[in-house]
Amino acid sequence: MKIGQARFADGNWEAISETPGFSSEKVDLVLAFGERKLLETTKFYPYLRQLYPNAQIIINSTSGEILADKVYDDTLVVTAIDLENTTVRTVQIDIADHKESYQAGEQVAKALNDNDLSAVILISDGGVVNGSDLIGACNQSLNQPVPVIGGLAGDADRFERTVVGLNQDPATGKVVGIGLYGSALKIGHGSMGGWDVFGPEREVTNSSYNELYQIDDRMALDLYKDYLGKYADGLPGTALLFPLSIRISPDSQPLVRTILSINETTKSMRFAGDIPQGARVRFMRANLDRLVEASATAAQTSLQQLGKTPELALLISCVGRKLVLGQRTEEEIEVARDIFGSQPVMTGFYSYGEIAPAGPATPGELHNQTMTITILSEQ
């Protein structure tokens, strides 16, 4: 695996690093993560196509760009990858409404299915997609279980629109699937939140898609405000400090869900992911030290699965974590670097939703408020 990295900031390109033997003409896959307004005002695709003539080029908007052990805003971070013993195939699906998400997941899987498929990376619009349906359909439609990882595009903390593009300038309503093929590619992954849970586990008694109406037959927003106490006056902004832990079924791993908005009229809350009726939920609160420690745990988990020093590390964290951590944001990147050492190339972005298996032998799932890390190496 040969990798080159570059960054566009303040109107200028900067070459960051190249591994020995790197050649832009041999690049198979380009991952370009950038700020949405920058992507809309500066058309990067023609330049990247000229630079990497044979590559599959994916561009998406973010809520912050990760490069090595630093976090940037208002930049474009480009990671160009020459996979020497791995084949890359891609597909782009248009989606206009969240109700089309399941079909989009089926289409991605159908396009990428093959006997030697080893992993799927999903990079999706973060505004109109139902991430739970997208990932669930992709998992169910694949011929065999493989890791499904990736993330939903971001838009800083504006939540206006997100853009994604495959071999084109990015636009709204795009879902990109990247298939990686062959036995030479080895993958490790980890996902961890680090939030503290408090209060009893309760049942979702009335919900629709991502709208939560009642918990234990009480109006959800009223119960939530009781738990928040003085922080309730700051809603919906303070909701980032108090996400929800959810178990879809009694034996499933807990997932974290971010609250996007509240409705005082219906006393409901809207989340960045499904909240099925009958699920079990607990309230959570921020603990900055544990958030940073969670990143270290995710890195260690991925490294244990891979069993060797990775060549590439893809870090996708949640915009909510970035807003909560503030000036400490880079710490969750730095602890991963400390665990991996100086050798792996590190890239990634802050997202509106993270995609990764919850455990070593589980399918990919939608996460919120987590750090997800995928590491790759070729034999």
- The residue among 285, 304, 338 that closes a domain is 285
Please check whether residue 286 is in contact with residue 348, taking contact to mean a CB–CB distance below 8 angstroms. Answer: no
Instruction: Tell me what pLDDT residue 157 has.
Output: 86
Strands 196-208 and 280-285: antiparallel
* Closest-CA residue to 201 (of 267, 278, 290): 278
User: Between the CA of residue 188 and those of 233, 252, 325, 356, what are the distances in Å?
Assistant: 42, 21, 26, 11
Domain count, the chain: 2
Q: What is the CATH number of the domain that holds 268?
A: 2.40.30
Instruction: Tell me what pLDDT residue 271 has.
Output: 84
Instruction: Tell me what pLDDT residue 120 has.
Output: 97
Does the pLDDT at position 359 exceed 80? no
Please check whether residue 221 is in contact with residue 263, taking contact to mean a CB–CB distance below 8 angstroms. Answer: yes
Instruction: Tell me what pLDDT residue 56 has.
Output: 98
> Each residue of 45-66: pLDDT tens digit?
999 999 999 999 999 999 999 9
Percent of the chain with pLDDT over 90: 82
Please check whether residue 348 is in contact with residue 316, taking contact to mean a CB–CB distance below 8 angstroms. Answer: yes
Write out the H or E segment, with its range, that includes residue 349: strand 345-351
User: Region 241-266: what's the mean pLDDT?
Assistant: 88
- Say if residue 243 is preceded by a cis peptide, omega within 30 of 0: no
For residues 130 and 207, membership in a common domain is answered with no
For residues 279 and 319, membership in a common domain is answered with no
Q: How crowded is the C-beta side of 339, counted as CA atoms within 13 Å?
A: 25
Write out the H or E segment, with its range, that includes residue 120: strand 117-124
For residues 202 and 351, membership in a common domain is answered with no
User: Region 74-95: what's the mean pLDDT?
Assistant: 97
* Closest-CA residue to 31 (of 53, 9, 57, 50): 57
Q: What residues does 6 pair with on adjacent strands?
A: 15, 78
- The residue among 270, 285, 300 that closes a domain is 285
Alpha-carbon gap, residue 373 to 313, rounded angstroms: 7
Q: Determine the residue type at 369.
A: Q
Q: What residues does 8 pair with on adjacent strands?
A: 13, 76
Alpha-carbon gap, residue 335 to 333, rounded angstroms: 6
For residues 154 and 174, membership in a common domain is answered with yes
For residues 259 and 331, membership in a common domain is answered with no
For residues 188 and 201, membership in a common domain is answered with no
- The residue among 251, 285, 319 that closes a domain is 285
Residue that has been written with the tokens 């973060």 in this structure:
126
For residues 83 and 106, membership in a common domain is answered with yes
Tokens of 307: 């069993």
For residues 87 and 214, membership in a common domain is answered with no
Is the pTM here over 0.85, yes or no?
A: yes
> Each residue of 194-238: pLDDT tens digit?
999 988 999 999 999 889 999 999 999 999 999 888 999 888 778
For residues 135 and 253, membership in a common domain is answered with no
Instruction: Tell me what pLDDT residue 273 has.
Output: 81
> Each residue of 287-323: pLDDT tens digit?
999 999 999 999 999 999 998 999 999 999 999 899 8
> Each residue of 121-166: pLDDT tens digit?
999 999 889 898 999 999 999 999 999 999 999 999 888 999 999 9
For residues 56 and 34, membership in a common domain is answered with yes
Q: What residues does 174 pair with on adjacent strands?
A: 94
Q: How crowded is the C-beta side of 251, counted as CA atoms within 13 Å?
A: 1
* Closest-CA residue to 109 (of 179, 207, 12, 189): 179
Instruction: Tell me what pLDDT residue 254 has.
Output: 87
Highest mean pLDDT among 26-30, 230-234, 250-254, 304-308: 26-30
> Which residues constitute the domain of residue 204?
196-285
CA dihedral 209, 210, 216, 219 (to 10 degrees): -110
Does the pLDDT at position 361 exceed 80? no
